Amino acid sequence: MPDLSVNLAGIQSPNPFWLASAPPTNSGYQIMKAFETGWGGAVWKTLGVPVVNVSSRYGALNYRDSRMVGFTNIELITDRPLADNLREIEEVKRHFPDHPVITSLMVESREEWHQIVRDCENAGADGHELNFGCPHGMCERGMGSAVGQEPDVLATITQWVMEVATKPVIVKLTPNISDITEPGRAAVRGGADAISLINTIQSIMGVDLDTLVPQPYVDGKSTNGGYCGPAVKPIALNMVKNCAQDARIGLPISGIGGIENWRDAVEHILLGATTVQVCTAVMHFGFGIVREMTSGLSRYMDEKGFETVGDMVGRALPSVATWENLNLDYKVVAEIDEQKCIQCQLCYIACEDGAHQAIGLPEGNGRVPFIIEENCVGCNLCSLVCPVESCITMVRRDDAESVTTWSDRVAAGTAPTSFNDQRGGGVGHYVPEPSKGIGKISR
């Protein structure tokens, strides 16, 4: 059996799956239920001066038949008294001493930071996460992402916390910034032990076309919220990768954003995360998803020969290059499996109107499209729109040996530098056919 236990900056956890600070970690009752179900650790719903929340407060992006592909909220931090939360932290630690409880914190003054860190440690917290990411409500009061967007302020507040913290401190970053490594480096300057990312992305979920009010609806008005769920995973992965690759950061990472199953979690880990945190998927499907996550991770590690989670951390990073170091000689073209094709012709339409006119339709009765190899640039679009698994595959056509990168071409003086340097071409001429009301391409 592979070893699923992890250690993030001194925080020991039976597995890498943590609940993110959010409604699923609002109370001791929920966290104990989650630990019983199999979650390794939990980041408590952000503690501070209790807030007053609005109703309603969530919105969702549904896509075709999929519910909650993206999720938004305009909820603030905890609305429960600190004393209640502290009592419940003690209770959780009494029942689950081996499961880390991280207290997410957000207050204003240095005195408040000192006080809340001490209170949480007295209650038994195993670490702290500084919420410098909430992009709505709290930032208008100078907290949350208002701090995360000002690296020097972030570093100063982190230092305040480090003055009194005896447990590891994780700085949670906001993605609402152009370069995520800036606040990452500020966390290092402040003395943090780890970083976590991402918090939610500032967003407007949509506008109700009847009421003309964006969602979520609060008595005829709305406001910008924080976007999360499956739709944000690619953004989160890129930011985790950017921080993991930055030698000036070098801190352990807790990856957050769009994690719904063991595969999503492994992707975060391969790009540099040691633990992962989950919010929306638990709000959607409940604590039980962790069973599939742990069994899937174990199976994957067995298959790949990874003995510990630590062995996997950052293993995809060496294959993330900058664009100018990709091989321009590598060449693939699409191939259609005629047996699998259901003749929907989505690939033809996508390629004809949206890409490179590299798919043709047979004359006569046939309906299975064919690839025009000389036009195919190997972009993948046809295989992505094809509804049949493995019907369109990309097959290699280069000599599998030569490597020329953009950097090589610039160095060799063979890169285009003026408007007319690149080879000419085009795929054909548009010939109007007025009798049919539409033209066609003559190749």
Cα of 283 vs its chain's centroid, Å = 17
Pairing assessment for the beta strands 370-371 and 359-360 based on DSSP bridges: antiparallel
Of 30, 174, 280, 375, the one binding ligand FMN (CB under 6 A) is 280
Q: Is 154 in the site for ligand FMN (CB under 6 A)?
A: no
Decide if residue 278 touches ligand FMN (CB under 6 A).
Answer: yes
Q: From the list 8, 101, 205, 259, which residue makes contact with ligand FMN (rule: CB under 6 A)?
A: 259
Give whichever of 130 and 312 is closer to ligand FMN, judged by the CB atom.
Answer: 130
Binding mask 83-122 for ligand FMN (x = CB under 6 A): ---------------------x------------------
Cα separation, 153 vs 421, in Å, equals: 49
Nearer to ligand FMN, 85 or 357 (CB): 85
- Least Å distance, CB 58 to ligand FMN, is 6
Contact 270, 316 (CB under 8 A): yes
Indicate which residue of 134, 139, 243, 382 is catalytic.
134
Q: Which of 6, 8, 9, 20 binds ligand FMN (CB under 6 A)?
A: 20
Interacting span for ligand FMN (CB under 6 A) from 32-40, 70-78, 354-362, 376-384: 70-78
Q: Does position 254 bind ligand FMN by CB under 6 A?
A: no
243 included as an active-site residue: no
Q: Does 256 bind ligand FMN (CB under 6 A)?
A: yes
CB of 341 to ligand FMN, least distance (A): 36
Position among 165, 228, 251, 359 found at the interface with ligand FMN (CB under 6 A): 228
- Tell me the closest approach of the beta carbon of residue 189 to ligand FMN, in angstroms: 21
Q: Which is nearer to ligand FMN, 44 or 306 (CB)?
A: 44
- State the nearest-atom distance from the C-beta of 270 to ligand FMN, in Å: 18
Q: How far apart are CA 324 and CA 410, in angstroms?
A: 10
Interface of this chain with ligand FMN, residues 382 to 441, rule: CB under 6 A: none
CB of 211 to ligand FMN, least distance (A): 22
Q: How far is CA 216 from CA 46, 91, 204, 258, in A?
A: 22, 35, 9, 20
Residue 172 as a binder of ligand FMN (CB under 6 A): the answer is yes
128 or 392: whose CB is closer to ligand FMN? 128
**Interacting residues with ligand FMN (CB under 6 A):** 20-23, 45-46, 71, 73, 75, 77, 104, 131, 133-134, 172, 199-200, 228-229, 232, 256-259, 278-281
Catalytic residues: 134
